[in-house]
Amino acid sequence: MKVMCIFGTRPEAIKMAPVIKELKKHEDIETVVCVTGQHRQMLDQVLEVFKIKPDYDLDIFKPGQSLTDITVNSISGIEKILEEERPDILLIQGDTTTVFSGALAAFYQKIKIGHIEAGLRSGNLFSPYPEEANRKLVGVLADYHFCPTDANRQNLLEEGYPDEKIYITGNTVIDALKYTVDEDFDFQDEVLNNLDYENEKIILLTSHRRENLGEPMRNIFSAVRDELKDRKDIKVVFPIHLNPKVREIAHEILDEMDNIVFVEPLDYLPFTNLMNKSYLIMTDSGGIQEEGPSLGKPILVLRNETERMEGIEANTARLVGTDYDNIRKNLKDLLDNEESYREMAHANNPYGDGNTSKRIVEIIKNI
Ligand code: UD1
Ligand code: UDP
Residue environment code for 264-294, b if the CB has 16+ CB neighbours within 10 A, otherwise e = ebbbbbbbbbbbbbbbbbbbbbbbbbbbbbb
Q: Which entry of 117, 132, 227, 291 is annotated as an active-site residue?
A: 117
Residue nearest to atom 2 of ligand 1 (CA): 96
What pTM was estimated for this model as a whole?
A: 0.98
d(CA 261, CA 200) in angstroms, rounded, equals 13
Q: Which of 26, 208, 218, 225 is catalytic?
A: 208
How many residues does this entry show for the chain? 367
pLDDT of residue 348: 87
Residue 318's DSSP bridge partners are 300
Host H or E run for residue 221? helix 215-228
Give the pLDDT confidence score for residue 173 in this predicted structure.
97
Whether residue 227 lies in the annotated active site: no
Of the listed 115, 241, 318, 359, which one is catalytic? Answer: 241
CA of 53 to the centre of ligand 1 (A): 21
Give the strand order in the sheet containing 166-168. 56-57, 30-35, 2-7, 89-93, 112-116, 144-147, 166-168
Question: Looking at residue 198, what is its pLDDT?
Answer: 93
Residue 117 falls in the annotated catalytic set:
yes
| Catalytic residue check, 186 | no
Residue 291 CA: which ligand is closest? 2
Q: What is the reported pLDDT for 35? A: 98
Distance (Å) of CA 235 to CA 12, 32, 200, 203: 29, 43, 7, 6
Note the Cα 293 to chain centre separation in Å.
Answer: 14
Give me Rg for the CA atoms of the chain: 20
Q: Whose CA is nearest to atom 3 of ligand 1?
A: 96
* CB-CB contact of 157 with 166 (8 Å): yes
46 alpha carbon, closest ligand: 2
CA of 39 from ligand 1 middle (Å) equals: 6
**Over the chain (367 residues), what is each successive 10-residue block's mean pLDDT?**
98 98 98 98 97 98 95 98 98 98 98 98 97 98 98 98 98 92 92 95 98 98 96 96 97 96 97 97 98 94 97 96 98 97 92 96 96
pLDDT value at position 222?
98
Decide: helix, strand or coil at residue 139.
helix
Cα dihedral value 300, 301, 303, 307, nearest 10: -150
43 C-alpha vs ligand 1 centroid, how far in Å? 10
Is 114 a pocket residue for ligand 2 (Cβ < 6 Å)?
A: no
Q: What residue type is 304 in one-letter code? A: N
| Distance from the alpha carbon of residue 189 to the mean position of ligand 1, in angstroms | 24
